[in-house]
Amino acid sequence: LHLPIGDWYYYDLEYWGLDYPPITAYISYLCGLGSHHLVGPETVALETSRGIEDRKHKAYMRATVLVLDLIIYGYALWISLDRHRHGYRGEYGEQQHQKHHPRHHAQQQQKENQERWQTRLTSTSMWLLLLALVQPAIVLIDHGHFQYNTVALGWSLMAFHFMTKGNFRQCVVGAFFFCLALNFKQMTLYYAPVVFAYLLGRCFADTTRFTVRFASLGITVITTFLVMWLPFLINGPSHVQTSVPERAVQILTRIFPFQRGLFESKVANLWCALSTKPFSIRERIAAEMQPLLALGLTTVLMLPSCVALFRMGAAKTTSDLQRQRKDATSLLWGATSCSLAFFLASFQVHEKSILMALAPASLLMDLDASFVQFLSVACAWSLWPLLQVDRLEVAYVCTVLIYICVVWMYHQQQDGAASEMQRSFFSSFFRSIPILAYIGMLGLHAMQLCVEAPQGLPDLYPVLWSIAGCGLFLVAWLCTLWHLFTKQAAAKQKVS
């Protein structure tokens, strides 16, 4: 607030230096400006405001998170679920009419079925909105750990919403929103491969207009990034002379801190799990090779979802509402899958990065409730070591219990039709996986409560959380691939 814009990525980097993309800096500036006028200038005074514990300032900071959460993330959820509701309109009514009603009653019965189905869908949409808003992991990180992740998540969901519309101009709008998300949180790069694959497929869907479509997307991306980055490129730091390339490198170095190592803290991913004895992979592989290894494994894990989304985009030849909805759900499955691939295998992963997989999955509750419940609880559970550091144990218990209660009420109001339309990975042979997972999660909590970690193994429980969480997220990743490829196989069979 008190520095020229050229100093923002250079000033006092040892004390919470700016390490997020430009839009985060702009929004932080606006929030600081509001605190200066609404709470008091002492709350944002240069250096002397560090560590301030004023109650009014805390309330203001949390209010900024809540307002942005509702305006951006809440709106993104609303338009996504509203489209979901309209995409399903009449679908179930027609199915029931074809099954049970004679031809001469068809028109009247179809109308009645559609009205009943639409009423149920409206109710279901409201429940799905509530379930997405009370996700314990998102609430704990953004409102407890104090972050603004829902801004990036909201813009990403808006991007998915527009990209999967029939008119390609809407894809350009979606690309713009995705650029906003990328310029707010670098973690949204977790979605970038499947977004690129899907949009590339949309370009190939009409080969006669491929060049125009690809160029329009490219111009949108370049223009948006240029506008966001230009103030930092033309204004250098006040204490030293720098060139434009040097300023760009400084921003990129702050945003992508490769020097921090393979992973951060005890995150529930493959590298942290494999760094325990006897594997000790972090010690066995040279530091300069670790980013390349992470890149290779991440590519392997994300490639199936990218292939599936490219095929989906390239096959889009109609603007039919139900087809758009299928594309939208496939993109949500693909974004969840790709995010899990990055979380499990990429370089320098933070615990909160799991929110990238959770947000799109939250909108799939009506398609596979077992999976979404499993992933939601697993995400919150995996954050436990981080939440202990922030003394959020009570908030953790409360938010998880609230979510479970809302899930129970959601299932109570659903009729048999909803369950008939769901196809879950956790059925037949795999039905016991979520139950065993929940027992294991509760068991580790009980063990930590009753048995103290040995003096020689002070990190025993965070390591157990990391290994078990990694296993849970691997199962979730497999589930997303099952959904992506079984849906495509079913679609091909239907066409045949």
Q: Is 132 exposed, middle or buried (0-12, 13-18, 19+ CB in 10 A)?
A: buried
* DSSP structure string for 291-357: HHHHHHHHHHHHHHHHHHHHHHHHT-----HHHHHHHHHHHHHHHHHHHHHHHHHSSSB-GGGGHHH
**Residue 434 and residue 283: Cα distance in Å, rounded?**
34
Q: How confident is the model at residue 14 (pLDDT cuts 50, 70, 90)?
A: confident
What 3-state class would DSSP assign to 437?
A: helix
End-to-end alpha-carbon separation of the chain, Å? 62
The reported pLDDT for the residue numbered 496 is 46
Instruction: Please give the C-alpha separations between residue 356 and each of 336, 409, 447, in angstroms, as whole numbers.
Output: 7, 26, 30
Q: Please determine, for residue 329, whether its predicted confidence score (pLDDT) is greater than 60.
A: yes
Tokens 């393979």, residue located: 262
Average pLDDT over residues 411-437: 69
Average pLDDT over residues 325-333: 90
- φ, ψ of residue 189 to 5 degrees: the values are -60, -20
The reported pLDDT for the residue numbered 289 is 87
Q: Please determine, for residue 92, whether its predicted confidence score (pLDDT) is greater than 50.
A: no
Q: How confident is the model at residue 114 (pLDDT cuts 50, 70, 90)?
A: low
The reported pLDDT for the residue numbered 326 is 84
Q: Please determine, for residue 59, whether its predicted confidence score (pLDDT) is greater than 50.
A: yes
Q: How confident is the model at residue 109 (pLDDT cuts 50, 70, 90)?
A: low
The reported pLDDT for the residue numbered 179 is 97
**Residue 356 and residue 135: Cα distance in Å, rounded?**
13
Tokens 């991440």, residue located: 298
Q: Is 241 exposed, middle or buried (0-12, 13-18, 19+ CB in 10 A)?
A: exposed
The reported pLDDT for the residue numbered 487 is 63
The reported pLDDT for the residue numbered 97 is 45
The alpha carbon of residue 246 and the mean position of all alpha carbons in its chain are separated, in whole angstroms, by: 32
Q: Please determine, for residue 133, whether its predicted confidence score (pLDDT) is greater than 90.
A: yes
Average pLDDT over residues 109-133: 73
Q: How confident is the model at residue 411 (pLDDT cuts 50, 70, 90)?
A: confident
Average pLDDT over residues 172-198: 96
Q: Please determine, for residue 162, whether its predicted confidence score (pLDDT) is greater than 80.
A: yes
